[in-house]
Amino acid sequence: MTSANLSLTAAGDSLGRLGRKAAWMRLFRRHAQWLFCLPAIVFVAMFFGYPIVQNVVMGFQEYGVSTFYSGEAPWVGLANYVTTFSSHLFTTTLVNTALFTIGSISFQFVIGLALALFFKRAFPLSGFLRSLLLLPWLLPLIASSAVWKWMLDQESGVLNQFLGLFGVDPVPWLVDPTLALIGVIGVNIWLGIPFNVAILYSGLQAVPRELYEAGSLDGAIGWKAFRHITWPSIRSVVSVVLVLGVVYTLKVVDIILGLTGGGPANSTQTLATNAYNKSFVEFNFGEGAAISNVLIVVSLVFAMVYLSISRREAHE
């Protein structure tokens, strides 16, 4: 009993030592893991965390020209949000943001998908044409918007001159408040197509060829093949494209500022351009922050959707 006991304690002792060592190793490993993550954490905290927190804080302050010199930004509670929500402009910008985002995304996606499917087939010059298609993506946004502004000009724009050949009267693309938003969305669609084509095309490449071969035996060709094979196979890519597209489009400012500056008569003003105007034209950073916080919340909703999609994908 005692000897057994002794040996047991000895075993327990060595086990304990082993266990302690293992625990220490585990601890070390866990900390080492954190150590490897540390640069990333510091980076995210500095360049994403701090500005967002600062922006949220600024939304509750009166942050104007004086703040820069005096360093004083008095707390104003919800005043910035009250002004934002009670402004006539808020509904306009909200509706415009929704129209701009939905309009841009739906057309970008449908056209992008059609082009991706088109380029999936092998034909001469397909690679060359595909790379040409990427051009809009490579141009600086401010340059594209300047060129488009010139092309959409009512009197001397190339688009109206072309339409004139068919007897169409000059269209006031960027001048008429009802058309300006359509004009701006049109340019943004043109800009967004390459992104959609690129991602969807790579998604299509990942669909196994055998599926189509097997499907064709069962009579799944053409539209049926797309419905029953292509679409289910690329569904996760599609949701990623759509969610990322929405988040990108919500915060578009350069295109709108370059084309119309939010005008005429605020007809192309979105949450993003309004936040920009409040902050960098009127130097009312508090109100600008309040508006962009609204935008952050909207974007966050879509970011969550994106996260849950990608997590589900990882589990599959």
Partner 1 sequence: METARKRRGKAPKVAVAAAALLPLTALTGCSGADPADAEAKNTLTIQDYYDEAHDPIYQACAKSIGVTIEINHVPGPGLIPKVLQQSSSRTLPDVLMLDNPDGQQIAASGALSPLSDYGISGEGLVPSVVKAGTYDGKLYGLAPAVNTLVIFYNKDLFQAAGITSPPRTWDELRATAKKLTSRDRYGFAMSNINTYEGTWQFLPFMWSNGGSEQDITTPETAQALQFLVDLQNDGSMSKSSVIWSQDDVIDQFIAGKAAMVVNGPWQIPTLTEQKDVNWGTFTIPTRVASQAPVAPLGGEMFTVPRTGDKAKMAKSGQFVKCLVSSASQLQSAEVRQNIPADPAVAQKFGESSQTVMPFVGAVRNARSRTGILGPGWPKAATKIYNAVQIALTGLAPPAEALRQAQGE
Residues that bind partner 1 (CB under 8 A): 65-71, 87-89, 153-155, 172, 174-177, 260-267, 280-283
Residue placing its CB nearer to partner 1 in the complex, 188 or 266 = 266
Residue placing its CB nearer to partner 1 in the complex, 141 or 211 = 141
Measured between alpha carbons, how far is 168 from 165 in angstroms, rounded to an integer?
7
Residue placing its CB nearer to partner 1 in the complex, 50 or 68 = 68
Instruction: State the nearest-atom distance from the C-beta of 174 to partner 1, in Å.
Output: 6
Residue placing its CB nearer to partner 1 in the complex, 2 or 86 = 86
Residue type, 249: T
Tokens of 290: 């309040």
Residue placing its CB nearer to partner 1 in the complex, 39 or 71 = 71
Per DSSP, helices labelled H in the chain are: 2-44, 50-58, 65-70, 79-86, 88-120, 126-133, 135-138, 141-151, 158-164, 177-205, 209-217, 223-225, 231-250, 254-259, 271-276, 285-315
Instruction: State the nearest-atom distance from the C-beta of 293 to partner 1, in Å.
Output: 21
Instruction: State the nearest-atom distance from the C-beta of 220 to partner 1, in Å.
Output: 52
Measured between alpha carbons, how far is 193 from 110 in angstroms, rounded to an integer?
9
Instruction: State the nearest-atom distance from the C-beta of 225 to partner 1, in Å.
Output: 48
Tokens of 184: 């701006």
Q: Please tell me whether residue 75 adopts helix, strand or coil conformation.
A: strand
Calculate Rg over the CA atoms of the chain.
28
Residue placing its CB nearer to partner 1 in the complex, 252 or 287 = 287
Task: Measure Cα distances from 21 to 11, 15, 24, 27, 92 in Å.
Answer: 15, 10, 5, 10, 65
Residue placing its CB nearer to partner 1 in the complex, 24 or 68 = 68
Instruction: State the nearest-atom distance from the C-beta of 67 to partner 1, in Å.
Output: 8
Measured between alpha carbons, how far is 290 from 59 in angstroms, rounded to an integer?
4
Instruction: State the nearest-atom distance from the C-beta of 168 to partner 1, in Å.
Output: 17
- The DSSP annotation for 253-284 comes to -HHHHHHTTT-STTTT--HHHHHHIIIIIS--
**Of 118, 20, 87, whose CA–CA distance to 277 is shortest?**
87
| Residue that has been written with the tokens 């001048």 in this structure | 175
Instruction: State the nearest-atom distance from the C-beta of 277 to partner 1, in Å.
Output: 9
Residue placing its CB nearer to partner 1 in the complex, 43 or 280 = 280
Instruction: State the nearest-atom distance from the C-beta of 183 to partner 1, in Å.
Output: 11
- Residues 60 and 80 sit within 8 Å (Cβ to Cβ): yes
Residue placing its CB nearer to partner 1 in the complex, 72 or 313 = 72
Instruction: State the nearest-atom distance from the C-beta of 268 to partner 1, in Å.
Output: 10
From the CB of residue 264, how many other CB atoms can be counted at a distance below 10 Å? Answer: 15
